[in-house]
Amino acid sequence: MAQAPTDLTRLAGYELAGLLAAGEVSSVEATQAHLDRIAAVDGEIHAFLHVNDGALEQAKTIDERRASGERLHDLAGAPVAIKDVLCTIGMPSTSGSRILEGWVPPYDATVVARLKAAGLVALGKTNMDEFAMGSSTEHSAYGPTRNPWDTERIPGGSGGGSAAAVAAFEAPFALGSDTGGSIRQPAAVTGTVGVKPTYGGVSRYGAIALASSLDQVGPVTRTVLDSALIHDVIGGHDPHDSTSLKREWPSFTAAAREGAASGSLAGLKVGVVKELDSEGIAADVQARFQETVQVLTDAGAEVVEVSCPSFEYSVAAYYLILPAEASSNLARFDSVRFGLRVEQQGQTVEDVMAASREAGFGPEVKRRIILGTYALSAGYYDAYYGSAQKVRTLIQRDFDAAFEQVDLLISPAAPTTAFKIGEKIDDPLAMYVNDITTIPANLAGIPGMGLPMGLGDDGLPVGLQLLAPMFEDARLYRAGATIEALLADRWGGILTTQAPALRDAAPSGSSATTAGGAA
């Protein structure tokens, strides 16, 4: 659809940053445009849990610094949305949970501090499944986020708020966190781009922990280059995170620019994971995937099938390891130092803790804490948690063997297009298998990207997943940007330009929906 070129919210992040750096647009103008967009559509989308009332003031400061001739970062003045799992000074950080309602942290997550230091302006905090446990954002204690492509449908999860915010043009950049697919799966169902970096590539300091050996913070955007720009800002060693990797990373921005310019995948060996191209994948997703494989082949890539036999056990291993780690991590919500306290006269501190956790945690969080407590309890530990850790070794070995044959692995990023809100909420197991394509990367620690590969039969976005070997994040950006450019040529622009218009200022709680699919 035709959009006036003056609408700053329709620009890609790198385009907006270019105008800011050139002084053609002020940060106040860019920030105001996005705040206006949030005011217009977020009543219906509910991507944000909190909007930063200091955003314009921060934008003004950036404009003044730029006017005074100070040399600023390339992204200075650009607005960014931050997933509520990340601690932010001056903004509540709830992780989507009632137990942290209104909690304002005394420190910034390292990734937030790095964005601030680069001069990006935080628009607010985005909605998520409670403590990042979920694949639909329906488990948020503050109500679901709606998919901008069809507001009766889920935007994926747990980072549905960040994905919906960029898909609905409420922000050009956002941050997410990915424990089992929470960046890549929302990208798939909202037609956007998201990257889970190599484990340890981005600091977890100040990210409210779900499963510490799986969690990784990453970018959420509409284009591959925009993700690279954010990754370059937030990545790198952080002494505050003992699992942070001490290594020099190449410029992901340069990799994305090279990839976009090359137009060719000649010399690239790509593996299709047989086990992720199975009967569990919907027919329309499979069809788009086959077409994409053809696009890759036409661009010179050599595509072969590889087998990762242990992937069959990845969901099972994940739903032992994650609850085990989560049940330990969430023990910190004890009603003593922060968060909700529910208390009656004469109760012991143990009673108060149990009552506070009963009142503060939602059903999915309780389910996983109890499951994790079970998996770690005496008599079951070896059979369940111990076995799951062995499966983790087998999955790493599968990836090692696959990457001896190919440079990159591809699969659908999610097994279906966005399902309807409410459709799977009462069936935990049906919800859990949504992450079948994304979980293996977290178990192995390797980097992955979700990016659009077209529309399904219902006119809803379908996502492609790219996986690279450990530390080879740059390979994702180079190939991802080439694939994005090839597909955009076929579509006449990136996929989000086809998203249906949203009604302005729809009343909150309205069940009205936009016209199903894209034009």
Q: Are residues 290 and 412 in contact, defined by beta-carbon separation less than 8 angstroms?
A: no
Spatial distance between the Cα atoms of 37 and 352, rounded to a whole number of angstroms: 43
Is the CB of 394 or the CB of 488 nearer to another protein? 394
Helices (DSSP H) in 235-337: which residue ranges? 252-262, 283-298, 314-329
What minimum distance in Å lies between the beta carbon of 231 and another protein?
18
Residue 211 CB, nearest approach to another protein (Å): 11
Please give the Cα distance from 24 to 351 (Å, whole number).
Answer: 60
Q: Smallest Cα–Cα separation from 461: which of 181, 139, 180, 154?
A: 154
Cα angle for residues 516, 143, 431 (degrees, 5° grid)? 70
Structure tokens, 77: 């003045």
389 versus 513: smaller Cβ distance to another protein = 389
Catalytic residue among 97, 182, 327, 335: 182
Q: Which is nearer to another protein, 282 or 315 (CB)?
A: 315
Closest contact distance (angstroms) between CB of 500 and another protein is 37
Residue of 371, 385, 369 lying closest to 326 (CA atoms)? 369
Contact 210, 435 (CB under 8 A): no
Q: Which is nearer to another protein, 241 or 484 (CB)?
A: 241
Distance CA 302, CA 406 (A): 9
As given in the structure block, the two tokens for residue 332 are 């910190």
Q: Which residues contact 322 (CB under 8 A, 6 or more apart)?
A: 179, 180, 210, 211, 214, 368, 372
Q: Does the active-site annotation cover 83?
A: yes
Decide: 128 and 405 in contact? Cβ < 8 Å.
no
Q: Name the catalytic one among 27, 83, 125, 411.
A: 83
Minimum distance from CB of 369 to another protein (Å)? 5
Please report the sign of the dihedral spanned by the C-alpha atoms of residue 297, residue 301, residue 304, residue 305.
Answer: negative
Q: How far apart are CA 182 and CA 186, in angstroms?
A: 6
In 3D, which of 339, 466, 483 has the Cα closest to residue 403?
A: 466
Q: Which is nearer to another protein, 18 or 428 (CB)?
A: 428
Q: Do residues 158 and 170 lie in contact, with contact meaning Cβ atoms separated by under 8 Å?
A: no
Q: Which of 26, 97, 136, 158 is catalytic?
A: 158
Q: Is 213 a catalytic residue?
A: no
Minimum Å gap between C-beta 162 and another protein is 23
Give me the least distance between CB of 317 and another protein, in Å please. Answer: 5
CA 76 from chain center: how many Å? Answer: 22
Q: Where are the alpha helices (DSSP H) in 191-247?
A: 224-234
Nearer to another protein, 123 or 444 (CB): 444
Q: How far is CA 295 from the centre of its chain?
A: 26
- Residue 305: partners with Cβ closer than 8 Å, 6 or more residues away: 271, 272, 274
How does strand 173-177 pair with strand 217-221?
antiparallel
Catalytically active residues, by annotation: 83, 158, 182
